[in-house]
Chains A and B, each alone.
Chain A
Amino acid sequence: MEAGKTRKRLKANKALREIITQFYADSHRAKAEGRPVGWIPPMNGLIELFYAMDIAPVFPENWAPVCAAIGTNKKNFEYTAKRGFSGDLCGYFRNNVGYALEGINEENQPLDGLPEPDFLISFGAGCIPTMKTFQVLCDHFDVPVLRADLPQVAMEDIKEHHIQYAVAQMKRLIRFLEEITGKKFDIDRLRQAVAYTDEACRLWDELMSKRSTIPAPFSAAELGIMFVMVTRHGTEIAVNFLKGVLQEVNEKIARGEGVIPNEKLRLFWDNIPLWYNMKLFNYFEKWDAVVVAETYSAAWSLRMDPNKPLESIAYKTLVSYPLVSCVSLHKRLELIVKAIRAYKIDGAILHSNRSCKPISMGQMDIQKVLAEELSVPSVMFDGDHMDGEKFSMAQFQTRIDAFMEMLLAKKDY
C-alpha cells in the first residue's frame, strides 16, 4: 500500500492544522479542569447542545481518520480482533473499539490521544456499526450513559411526529446534561450555536458551489477542511475558518487559477475517501483530471433556524445519517444527479467501500442512473476507507488508468 502525503494547495490548510490541534487540546484542557467530556457519534445536533453548555465533545469517528493518517489504525484493529470482533466490521468500529479499549492507554500519542469520557450518549440510530461502537463503549467505561432514540426516516418522509419525537429526545438529553454539569441550560446560547451552524452551512454550500467554476479552484484532496463541519459546528471557529477559505478560493477564481494548471477532466467521487491514502486524489492529475464533487461532502450541509433551536438540532440529528446512507436511495440519487449536472462532471469514480455497507449499497443503481439518464461514464473500484489491507493499488491503477484514457478519448483529447 502506498501511503504518503497529499498535495494540498490551499493556504487555509495551515489554519486547519491549528484548528485540529486546538480541538483536541480543548478536550484535554476540559478534562484537566474537571469539566465533563462526552463521547458522541458525529453528524447530529448534539454538538450544538454541547457547545451551548460548555461541554467538550469527542467524536471517536472523527478520531479514526486521524489514526488512519498516522498509521495507528493497524494496532487498533489488532486490539479489536484480539477481543473476538470480526474483521469484516466497519473500519471505524474496529479502530474505535480497539482504541478505546486498549490504544488509549499508550504513551506518546499524536495530539495526546483522546481523553476518556465522563459520560456517553448511546443512540439507537445511525448505522449499526456506530450504534454498536457506543454499546461497546458503554460496556467498557464505567460512566453515566444516556440511552436515546432516533428512528431512521428517509429525508423526504420526515413528518411533524418525527421532529416532535426527536425534540423530546433533545429535551431528555438537556436534562441529562444539566445533571452532569450541574448547570442550567440556556436556550439563547443554543440559539447562538444554531446560528453559527447555519452560517457555517451557508458558507460551506457557497464554498462547494465554487468548485463548479472551470478550472476548479480546489479538489477533493482538500477535503480535510470538512473537519470544522464535523467538530466545530455550533461555534464561531467554523464560521471564521470557512470565511477565510472562501476568500482564498474567490481570489483564486478571480485570477482564473485552477487547482491544476491544465484542467481537462472533471470527476465525481462517491463514498468515503481512503483516509490512509488521501494522495489517491492526486493520482488523477496525470491525466489533468480533478475531483470536483463528492457525495460525502454534500451531506454535511443543511440549513437551520435559530428561532427554532430545538427543532433545528432535532432535524439535523434526524437527517444526518439518512443523507449519506441508503435509508433513501431516491434522495441520494437526486443529490448525485444534481451534483453531476452542477459540477459539469465528465466521469464518476465509485469507491465500493467494504467497511461501509450503508453507503456502498445502491452503487450499482448509481452507475445505472449515471449511464442511462446522464450518459456519464463511471468506474467502480474495491477499497476500504480505513483498512489499507483491503485495498489494492495495482488493481486500482489498472481500473482507473483504462477509465481515464477512455474519458480523454471521449473528450477528443
Chain B
Amino acid sequence: MSTKFKDLYDRHIEMIQEEQRKNERLAIGTLCSYVPVEILHAFNILPVRLWGQSEDISQADALLQIYICPPARHIMALGLAGHYDFLDGIVHSYTCDATCGLFNIWCRNLKPKFSFLLSPPYIDIDEAIEYSLAEHRGFITALENFTKKRFSVDRLRRSINLYNEARAYIKEIYDVKHRGAPVSYLDIYYINLCLQVLPVEMLISLYQDYLLAAKEMVSKGSGKYRILLSGSVISDVDIMGLIEQRGGDIVVDDTCLGFRLVQDRINEDEDPLTALVKYYLRRPPCSSRADFPARKNHVLEMISLFDVDAVIFMHQKFCDPHLSDHPFLKKVLDEKGIPQMQLELEEEEGLTGQVQTRLESFFEILEGK
C-alpha cells in the first residue's frame, strides 16, 4: 500500500485552512455524495465532505440519541469538538432520515454562516430534470447571495471538466486493479476520500502518477477471492486490511464513497447545469435514494463487471436504508449462488474479536467451496 493518499487525507484540514488563508477560498461541509460539488467549486469554494471518526463519540449524546447510526453520531461529535470550526457553511443533499436530522441539529447548534438543504428528485422522468434544474438554481442563488459573486456557466464548465478528469482517473485505477495490477483497496479508499475533502485541481496529477505507476506494475492477478464491499459509510480501514490479509481482494465497492461516484461522467457537450443534474439523477443511486430493482441491478452489474466471487456487506448499526435492503439483496445473491456475509458494525467500530472470527469463518467457507 502507498501511504501518499492517506497522508494527504490526514492533513486535509490543515491544507484546507491554508487554502482558506492564502487564497481566500471558502470551505463548505457537505453531507452525502449528492451535494453537487462542481457548483461549489465553480464559486471557488472548497467542498469538504463531513466524514470520519471522533475520538469520543459520547460527546454526541447531548444532541443525538444512542440509537442514531454511528456515522451521524461521529460527525456530530467531531463538530462539537470543534474539528470543523473552520467551515464557512454546510450543505445537505437529501438522503436519509439520520443525515437530515444531523443537518438540522448541526445548523441549530453550531450555527454555520451558510446552510442549504437540497432536495433532488428520485426518479428519472422528464419532469424530474426540470424540477432538479429549478432546485439547483435555488442553490446557486443562495450561493450568489452568500458569496456576493455571480454564478458563471463557464466556471461551472471548467469545474465539471476537472471533476470528470479526476473521476475518470479513479475509475481507471479500479480498472487496472481489475486487470491484475497489485493495487491495494486501501489505496483506492484513500484516493476516493481525498477527492471528497481536498481541492480537485491538486489531486489530478497525483492520480495520474498513481495510475501510471500502477500500469507499470506486473499484472499477475492476486489469486485471491474477488470481493464486492457493500454498505453505507465504511471508514473502517482495519477491517478492509483484514479482508485483504485473510485472502480477499476488494475489487469494487457499493458504498457512499467509491465506484458509484466515479463510474459515470458528466456530459460536457450539453448545457453544464442540465448535464450536472442528469449525472446526479442517473448515477447508480445509494440505498437511501433507490428502490429494490435499482439496487439489484447495480449490485449485479458490479458483480459481472468485476468478476466478483463474494460480497461482504458492512452495515452500520441503526442504518435503516441498508438494513432494510439487505434481506432482499441476500435473496438476489442466493439465487445467483454468490456467497455473501453481513457484518453489522457497533458504535465503537474496529476489528473486534467477533468481526475477526466471522471473517475467518467466511473465508473458510469460501475455501471449502
Interface residues of A (CB under 8 A from B): 83-86, 88-90, 93, 122, 124-125, 127-129, 132, 135-136, 138-139, 147-154, 157, 159, 161-162, 164-165, 168-169, 172, 325-330, 352, 354, 357-358, 360-365
Contacts and interface: CB of A to CB of B under 8 A. Distances in A.
Given A152-B94, A365-B108, A326 B101 contact: yes
Contacts of B323: 85-86, 88-89
B94 A135 contact: no
B100 A152 contact: yes
Nearest to A83: B327
A88 B94 contact: no
Contacts of B119: 151-153, 162
B355 interface: no
B291 A159 contact: no
Interface stretch (B124-132, B185-193, B251-259, B360-368): B124-132
Contact of A364 (B62, B134, B344): B62
B121 interface: yes
A305 to B, nearest CB: 22
B325 interface: yes
B101 A129 contact: no
B67 A88 contact: yes
B105 A139 contact: no
The B interface is mostly helix, strand or loop, or mixed, namely: helix
A78 B123 CA distance: 33
Contacts of B288: 128
B324 A84 contact: no
Given A86-B344, A164-B131, A168-B127, A132 B324 contact: yes
B131 A151 contact: yes
A165 B120 contact: no
A391 to B, nearest CB: 13
A149 B324 contact: no
Contacts of A326: 97, 100-101, 104-105
Interface residues on B, range: 35 or more
B326 interface: yes
A368 to B, nearest CB: 9
Given A90-B320, A124-B291, A361-B98, A132 B325 contact: yes
B318 A88 contact: yes
Given A124-B122, A154-B117, A358 B134 contact: no
B68 interface: yes
A93 B324 contact: yes
B105 A357 contact: no
Contact of A84 (B101, B121, B326): B326
B6 interface: no
Contact of B97 (A93, A128, A138, A159): A128
A388 to B, nearest CB: 17
A127 B97 contact: yes
Given A90-B320, A161-B130, 9 more contacts: A85-B324, A85-B327, A86-B344, A147-B291, A150-B122, A326-B100, A357-B98, A361-B65, A361-B102
Contacts of B96: 128
B129 to A, nearest CB: 11
A150 B135 CA distance: 13
Nearest to A357: B97
A153 B94 CA distance: 9
25 contacts: A84-B326, A84-B327, A85-B324, A86-B323, A86-B326, A88-B318, A124-B123, A127-B320, A128-B97, A136-B328, A147-B123, A149-B121, A149-B125, A327-B117, A329-B108, A357-B67, A357-B68, A361-B68, A361-B97, A361-B101, A362-B101, A362-B104, A362-B105, A363-B65, A365-B63
Nearest to A380: B65
A165 B121 contact: yes
Given A361-B98, A364-B62, A354 B67 contact: yes
B246 interface: no
Contacts of A161: 130-131, 134-135, 138
B155 interface: no
B330 interface: yes
Given A84-B330, A165-B131, A149 B122 contact: yes
B317 interface: yes
A326 B68 CA distance: 13
A157 B64 contact: no
B65 A360 contact: yes
Contacts of B94: 151-152
A151 B135 contact: yes
B101 A157 contact: no
Contacts of B121: 124, 149, 151, 165
**Would you list the 4 A-B pairs with minimal beta carbon distance, nearest first?**
A124-B122, A361-B101, A161-B134, A151-B119
B65 A365 contact: no
A147 B292 CA distance: 11
A149 B121 CA distance: 7
Contacts of B131: 151, 161-162, 164-165, 168
Nearest to B109: A365
Nearest to B133: A161
A172 B121 CA distance: 15
A149 B123 contact: yes
Nearest to B326: A84
A128 B100 CA distance: 11
Contacts of B182: none
Contacts of A86: 323, 326, 344
Nearest to A322: B100
Nearest to B62: A364
Interface string B300-336: 0000000000000000011011011111101000000
Nearest to A158: B119
Contacts of B325: 132
A326 B101 CA distance: 5
B139 to A, nearest CB: 11
Contacts of B123: 124, 147-149
Contacts of A330: 104, 108
A358 B123 CA distance: 23
Nearest to A355: B67
Nearest to A88: B318
